[in-house]
């Protein structure tokens, strides 16, 4: 081991390996002599330290896995006769996920399903689809009457599962419910979630109170962010929830979380204490799902909303589904075919409606010409090129002018989900967005790819863009 060590490095015990003095009299190096007592002591010491380190690692990992199994095996479970309880080994899995405002002491009639989402997971392809169902969605009850879908929550998990199954036509395998206390604690365990607000927000109804700029949302403010809806609508709240899910996914799957045993244990504790599942979703299945979900990223999840529109009927506020579009969306999910462009939020933005300025933020010459060719090939309009305010941009950034955060998010996908930020005062542009190319682009680490074209087949007519969030937010 010491014979191959580079000179100038330390070995256990603090000694430094020095380069041997050259033998002036002979060109051929001498054969290495047998290790002396001091060298043998150093070797034994190094091996001892290595063995101790390996033992600690093994015990830590084994203890962590064992503890996780123990703790998850004692999470709260409920009976769900309507759940199939499959493990996803032979095909995709459908999980009904609810966010509830259940609090200790609440009566059954005062409980609501504040968030309702259907998660379709295909482990073989490492892809997933998350479809939010508005809580005021108008559906038919077993007695033939029309009611809001979240009213089934008071009747128990089986009733909620049956209602979603009846509306979507998809069998439900498992039921997961997260209460608001658990949501707050999960965010706090992660150390908060950072996002950028283009403007200050103060919503007394939800309690959201943040300044403009990059903000770390702790548990209470994160909960206020995903619950606020008086700033726009329930569709806006769904858009914010989906965006927040992407940020949390990215943080949970980061090395800083997965390689931190204390943080993993804390997340296991929080999850086990604040999550309710059906009986079939036991510790063994949860462990298997956790291992498989490591292959997922926010980019492999397709976020949708039931194609619908708000409408008052008989003085009651409902969300009315577009029957043909909803059926086409869920049929595609069930058959595993390409999804039609139904249930997407935001205005119908196409590359041809976006004008971009490209600036070089590096010392590498001529990269703006290449970027211009690529953006134009993807269908975007390039208003001009030039040099950025600095030449030390490590990563490519897409800046947006007021009101154009959605356009910037679309352009960012061309550069591998580049950062999206509001345009700083030192950069001027007469376009919707400004792309500042960084070293990642100059070194070929980011390859521009055309944005995928809309689905050509829309069996239920043209897609209707659903409202999105009025709050302009982006990842920091």
Specify the range with the lowest mean pLDDT, choosing from 184-198, 248-262, 302-316, 364-378: 248-262
Task: Indicate the CATH number for domain 76-192+218-335.
Answer: 3.40.630.190
Find, among 338, 344, 372, 341, the residue nearest to 358 by Cα: 372
Cα–Cα distance for residue pair 177/270, rounded to 1 Å:
13
Instruction: Say whether pLDDT at 434 is over 60.
Output: yes
Residue 90 binned pLDDT confidence (cut-offs 50, 70, 90)? confident
Q: Are 212 and 220 in contact (CB under 8 A)?
A: no
Cα–Cα distance for residue pair 348/118, rounded to 1 Å:
24
Greater model confidence, 350 or 234: 234
Amino acid 262: pLDDT: 64
Residue written as tokens 């998660």? 119
Q: Is 26 exposed, middle or buried, given 0-12, 13-18 or 19+ CB atoms closer than 10 A?
A: exposed
CA distances from 13 to 9, 43, 101, 115 (A): 12, 10, 57, 58
Instruction: Say whether pLDDT at 136 is over 90.
Output: yes
Give the domain ranges of the chain.
76-192+218-335, 351-442
Find, among 68, 44, 63, the residue nearest to 287 by Cα: 68
Alpha helices in 173-315 (DSSP H): 180-189, 219-227, 234-252, 255-258, 261-274, 283-292
Amino acid 209: pLDDT: 94
The pair of three-digit structure tokens given for residue 207, joined into one six-digit string: 């309690």
Task: Indicate the CATH number for domain 351-442.
Answer: 3.30.70.2390
Greater model confidence, 176 or 112: 176
HSE (side-chain half, CA atoms, 13 Å) at 372: 13
């Amino acid at each position: 081991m010491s014979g191959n060590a580079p000179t100038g490095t330390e070995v256990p015990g603090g000694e430094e390996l020095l380069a041997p003095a050259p033998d002036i009299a002979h060109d051929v190096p001498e054969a290495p002599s047998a290790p002396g007592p001091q060298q043998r002591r150093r070797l034994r010491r190094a091996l001892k330290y290595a063995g101790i380190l390996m033992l600690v690692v093994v015990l830590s990992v084994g203890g962590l896995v064992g503890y996780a199994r123990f703790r998850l095996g004692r999470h709260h479970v409920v009976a769900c006769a309507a759940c199939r309880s499959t493990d996803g080994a032979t095909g995709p899995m459908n999980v009904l996920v609810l966010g509830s405002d259940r609090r200790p002491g609440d009566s059954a009639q005062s409980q609501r399903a504040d968030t309702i989402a259907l998660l379709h997971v295909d482990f073989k392809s490492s892809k997933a689809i998350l479809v939010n169902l508005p809580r005021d969605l108008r559906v038919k009850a077993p007695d033939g009457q029309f009611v809001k879908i979240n009213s089934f929550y008071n009747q128990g998990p089986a009733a909620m599962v049956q209602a979603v199954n009846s509306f979507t036509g998809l069998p439900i395998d498992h039921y997961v419910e997260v209460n608001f206390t658990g949501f707050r604690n999960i965010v706090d365990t992660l150390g908060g979630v950072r996002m950028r607000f283009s403007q200050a927000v103060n919503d007394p109804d939800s309690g959201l109170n943040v300044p403009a700029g990059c903000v770390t949302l702790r548990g209470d403010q994160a909960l206020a962010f995903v619950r606020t809806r008086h700033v726009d609508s329930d569709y806006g709240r769904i858009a914010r929830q989906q965006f927040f899910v992407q940020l949390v996914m990215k943080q949970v799957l980061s090395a800083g979380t997965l390689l931190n045993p204390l943080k993993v244990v804390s997340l296991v504790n929080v999850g086990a204490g604040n999550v309710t599942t059906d009986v079939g979703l036991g510790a063994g299945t949860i462990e298997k799902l956790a291992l498989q979900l490591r292959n997922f990223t926010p980019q492999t999840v397709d976020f949708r909303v039931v194609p619908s529109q708000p409408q008052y009927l008989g003085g009651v506020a409902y969300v009315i589904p577009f029957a043909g579009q909803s059926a086409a969306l869920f049929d595609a999910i069930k058959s595993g075919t390409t999804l039609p462009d139904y249930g997407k939020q935001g205005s119908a933005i196409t590359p041809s409606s976006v004008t971009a300025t490209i600036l070089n933020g590096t010392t590498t010459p001529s990269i703006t010409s290449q970027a211009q060719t690529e953006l134009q090939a993807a269908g975007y309009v390039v208003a001009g090129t030039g040099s950025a305010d600095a030449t030390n941009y490590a990563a490519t950034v897409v800046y947006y002018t007021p009101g154009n955060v959605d356009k910037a998010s679309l352009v960012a996908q061309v550069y591998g989900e580049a950062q999206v930020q509001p345009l700083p005062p030192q950069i001027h542009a007469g376009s919707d967005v400004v792309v500042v190319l960084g070293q990642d682009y100059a070194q070929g680490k980011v390859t521009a790819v055309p944005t995928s074209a809309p689905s050509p087949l829309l069996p239920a007519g043209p897609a209707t863009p659903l409202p999105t969030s009025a709050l302009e937010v982006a990842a920091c």
